[in-house]
Amino acid sequence: MRKEKVLRDPVLNEIHVYDQVILDLIATPEFQRLRRVKQLGVTSEVFHGAEHSRFSHSLGVYEIARRIERHLAQFYPTQTNTDGLWNPEERLVLLCAALLHDLGHGAYSHTFEHIFNTDHEAYTQEIILSPTTQINAVLKQVASDFPEKVAQVIAKTYPNPQVVQLISSQIDADRMDYLLRDAYFTGATYGEFDLARIIQTIHPYAGGIAFADKGMNAIEDYVVSRYQMYVQVYFHPVSRAMEVLLQHLLERAKSVFENHAERGLSNGFMPKALMPLFEGDITLDEYLMIDDSVMLAAISEWRNSDDSVLADLSRRFLNRVPLKSIVIDEQTRSLLPQLRELVETAGFDTQYYTAENDSFDLPYDAYDPKARKPRTQIELRQQNGDLIELSQKSALVQALTGRVFGDARFFFPSEMLQEHPVEDMMAPVYADFQQYIENGQLIEPK
């Protein structure tokens, strides 16, 4: 009788583990660290339920990969070398890659990487390959070249395209979990789709993964869900405003830190754990000591910093006082210097209190054969076995093909929108500023 460990999961109901190596990987400090890294970073400032961690997402990706593999092994086990069906010996490398694919993420990854020039995918591979980690030790127990194989899947250089596509493609275990999970925790119900249905229609072929014809509607629903999650959650203006705030406060902290260092002053305001990061020379062990709580505790302290800009940005971040924003386009972008001047006049350092941010997504670029390799397209398998690209069959997806969604925004302090600042000597500045805005968009003042 097979041994089984069941973890209760609110999104996928239950996560089943049958392999000791998976249990051992979960138990490593490197994997447990993901409990302390939020999946969506600052998004919980807008969607207050979205406090979920990369730990739960990683388990989810594992579980979806496990369900897909069970389906493939049951219905499409390979018989010959050339039948293009599923090789059950790929099971463990698939499951391990699914579980570990996000291992290298730092706290508030996107901001973090931008400021400190790190790369979470490179870290993921390093954690898997470095002989100093427990992850590596556990993987090596499978086979001496097993860490290398798992790292190849992450790097998309693994020879079996089915394994790679299940972890990374237009419709893979990673995306399916994060869309469902983020929808569940944000409460954005538009993000739901029928996971079980999609899994049931997965059909392997020599070049990768296709989907049975009859699953088309479930995939259409997935595509629309993805669109809705991007437009409503990932591109939410307030979330981006908090992101900007975090980015600017880290930039400021870095600038203060470097300035102190140059002047030989004490850098006591910087917690020990973050020091190597700000010094720009960080080991893997040191990297793995950093998580959301270390970052937040630092920002917590910085509220009392001598540097008034750092202290103010830290307070705005922790007390959730986001920057405000308006939509800009190619034409109106030329008006931004005037807006920045008004923000400056109102007493704000525009380097830290304003920003431009473009968030666009071309969700169906995969269907454009000119731009992408054919194997990353979503392929439907017809009754006679032929493959056909999704948008050739789905009128709904065809309608969305090649269309860009999203917007560009200009961010500025909420003070600029004050309504009745009569006693305020900045009142005329604010009034000037507000003439540039209508229906949430930047306009030429009348």
Ranges within 192-211 binding a copy of itself (CB under 8 A): 194, 196-197, 200
Among 78, 87, 267, 300, binds a copy of itself (CB under 8 A): 300
Measure the CA–CA gap between 247 and 241, rounded to whole angstroms: 10
44 binds a copy of itself (CB under 8 A): yes
What does the alpha-carbon distance between residue 51 and residue 15 come to, in Å, rounded to a whole number? 20
Q: For strand 437-438 and strand 441-442, is the pairing parallel, antiparallel, or unpaired?
A: antiparallel
The residue among 121, 39, 112, 117 whose CA lies nearest residue 298 is 112
Which among 109-117, 150-158, 217-225, 240-248 is the span making contact with a copy of itself, rule CB under 8 A? 217-225
Does 36 engage in binding with a copy of itself (CB under 8 A)? yes
**Least gap, CB of 78 to a copy of itself (angstroms):** 11
Per CB under 8 A, 417 contacts a copy of itself: no
**Interface positions, 74-103, toward a copy of itself (CB under 8 A):** 74-76
User: Is 1 near a copy of itself (CB under 8 A)?
Assistant: yes
Residue 15 CB, shortest distance to a copy of itself, in Å, is 9
Near a copy of itself by CB under 8 A: residue from 396, 417, 426, 443 = 396
- Which region, judged by CB under 8 A, interacts with a copy of itself, from 93-101, 125-133, 313-321, 415-423? 313-321
* Element at 297 (helix H, strand E): helix 292-302
The residue type at 383 = Q
Residues 6 or more apart whose CB falls under 8 angstroms from that of 231 comprise: 405, 406
The secondary element (H helix, E strand) that includes residue 9 is: strand 5-9
Asked whether position 23 contacts a copy of itself by CB under 8 A, the answer is: no
d(Cα 122, Cα 151) in Å, to the nearest integer?
10
Q: H or E stretch including 211?
A: strand 208-212
Contact stretch for a copy of itself (CB under 8 A) within 95-103, 164-172, 267-275, 350-358: 267-275
- Select the residue interacting with a copy of itself from 59, 99, 179, 209 (CB under 8 A): 59
Please report where in the chains the tokens 């990683």 appear, as a residue: 58
* CB of 405 vs a copy of itself, minimal distance in Å: 6
Window of 161-169, 330-338, 400-408, 420-428 that interacts with a copy of itself by CB under 8 A: 400-408
- By CB under 8 A, the count of residues binding a copy of itself is 85
Q: Does 232 sit near a copy of itself (CB under 8 A)?
A: yes
Q: Which residues of 265-281 are buried (b: 16+ CB within 10 A; e: fewer)?
A: eeeebbbebbebbbeee
- Among residues 20, 32, 141, 334, the one that binds a copy of itself under rule CB under 8 A: 32
CB 367 within 8 A of CB 377: yes
Least separation, in Å, of the C-beta of 199 and a copy of itself?
Answer: 11
Residue closer to a copy of itself, measured from CB, 57 or 120: 57
Residue 220, Cβ neighbours under 10 Å: how many? 18
- Please state, in angstroms and rounded to a whole number, the distance separating the CA atoms of residues 247 and 196: 39
Which residues in the 422-441 window bind a copy of itself by CB under 8 A?
A: 438-440
Locate the DSSP E strands across 316-429: 324-328, 355-361, 379-381, 387-389, 405-412
Binding status of residue 403 toward a copy of itself by CB under 8 A = yes
Residue 220 binds a copy of itself (CB under 8 A): yes
Stretch binding a copy of itself (CB under 8 A), from 184-192, 276-284, 322-330, 343-351: 184-192
Binding span for a copy of itself by CB under 8 A among 26-34, 135-143, 150-158, 325-333: 26-34
How far is it, in rounded angstroms, from Cα 158 to Cα 151? Answer: 8
